Structure 1
Amino acid sequence: MNFCSNCGSNQLQFIVPEGDNKQRFVCPDCDTIHYQNPRIIAGCLPVFEGKILLGKRAIDPRKGYWGLPAGFLENGETPEEGALRELHEETLAKGHIKHLQSVFSLPQFNQVYLIYLVDLISDEMGTTSETLESKLFEVKDIPWEDIAFESTTFALEEYLKNPEAKMTKRGHFIWEKEKRFGI
């Protein structure tokens, strides 16, 4: 952070503010403490007649790899609204949320993924500026070696253990150890 978003000062300090226990950017000119919090990614695991909808990414990171429709939550929307928005933005598909399927944290990237199980209304889908291809996969045909993100692999693996489970699965990925941990 180079400038205070409150007053424009370029004199920010990275210190532990009084009464806090973590270093924060603090503006000495206007006394604003700039808290930086994790970003929420809302997405879905869309299913139609036992098949799972994946999109082949048209954008980086991981362009050309398959993933679940997901993206950053927008201000003013609920995670459920964000998940359904991302579904349509990335695949042109529409569906109804059943329940929260998985919560997945990437602490080193300050991200928390909320993935909802979604029943698709139909098998209608398409491509967008974010997706090269949208496709319904039979379980046996999921392209595991070409999955874009660990969060997608986790959500798919947990879903496939018991597709009827209503319990939310929790996990996180510690990049530096190169190992996924389920909780």
Structure 2
Amino acid sequence: MLIDPRRIKHCRHCGRPVDYRIPADDNRERAVCDGCGTIHYENPLNVVGTLPVWGEQVLLCKRAIEPRYGLWTLPAGFMELGETVADGALRETVEEAGAKVELEGLLTLLNVVRVGQVHLFYRARMLDTTLDPGPESLDARLFHEHEIPWDEIAFRTVRETLRHYFDCRRSGNGYPLHLADIG
């Protein structure tokens, strides 16, 4: 199921209806206002987060919001304007888990084309085990690999990130960036 690229119905500047067409000097259809001529560009959203680690354990949060209410995820969410990818990942970790972490490197970059998103997860070292889940989380807990509720993981990108992390840890060859397309 691909995203319908024709989501914009009205101009954000003047409110008139838009028409989808290829503007001059462009190569794809865009929402173009018939009144003021404004071209509206629609681009993928960035989801940023961390894979927090404490010794042999990783931190997961149980979702208190839809989609996937009650399932486990890594602390992550939509990047905000005015912040870097790293800043967004740190903010989401505090908001969802109340965890203090130090980023150790980008671990996964996952394209989720069908929903117009790019997910970026950092490996992060927890500075202590104090957790204070925010309103978007029912719980935040540390898990050893064998304790992870794999059948209750909320998103394929989270599952992919966890598997990459544990594979890298077992190999002992570091944590190279994992790039993948998620269908």
TM-score by length of 2: 0.92
Q: Once the 2 structures are TM-superposed, how far is the Cα of residue 19 of structure 1 from its aligned partner? A: 2.1
2:168/2:175 contact within 8 Å kept: no
SS in 1 for 2:61: strand
SS in 2 for 1:85: helix
How far does the alpha carbon of each residue in 1:62-120 deviate from its partner, in whole angstroms, 9 at most, with x for none?
00000000000000000101001000100111100000000011101000011000000
TM-score by length of 1: 0.92
- Number of the residue aligned with 2:177: 168
Select which of 31, 39, 58 maps to 2:45: 39
What are the ranges of 5 or more consecutive residues in structure 2 without an aligned counterpart? 1-7
Distance 2:133 2:33 in 1: 45
Select which of 121, 128, 134 maps to 1:122: 128
Select which of 14, 29, 34 maps to 1:28: 34
How far does the alpha carbon of each residue in 1:119-178 deviate from its partner, in whole angstroms, 9 at most, with x for none?
00001112221000100001110110000000000000001111252311011211xxxx
- Number of the residue aligned with 1:94: 100
Distance 2:181 2:95 in 1: 26
Select which of 77, 80, 97 maps to 1:74: 80
2:165/2:175 contact within 8 Å kept: no
Size of the aligned set, in residue pairs, is 173
Cα-Cα RMSD: 1.0
Distance 2:153 2:181 in 1: 17
**Match of 1:61, as an amino acid?**
P
Identity among equivalent pairs (%): 38
Distance 1:91 1:143 in 2: 18
What are the ranges of 5 or more consecutive residues in structure 1 without an aligned counterpart? 175-183
Q: Do structure 1's residue 153 and structure 2's residue 162 form an aligned pair?
A: no
- Number of the residue aligned with 2:141: 135
Once the two structures are overlaid, the 10-residue window that deviates more, 113-122 or 126-135, is 126-135
2:95/2:133 contact within 8 Å kept: no
Q: Do structure 1's residue 3 and structure 2's residue 10 form an aligned pair?
A: yes
Select which of 52, 62, 69 maps to 1:56: 62
Q: Once the 2 structures are TM-superposed, how far is the Cα of residue 5 of structure 1 from its aligned partner? A: 1.0
Q: Once the 2 structures are TM-superposed, how far is the Cα of residue 7 of structure 1 from its aligned partner? A: 2.0
Q: Once the 2 structures are TM-superposed, how far is the Cα of residue 34 of structure 1 from its aligned partner? A: 0.5
Once the two structures are overlaid, the 10-residue window that deviates more, 163-172 or 48-57, is 163-172
- Number of the residue aligned with 1:106: 112
2:49/2:92 contact within 8 Å kept: yes
**Match of 2:144, as an amino acid?**
E
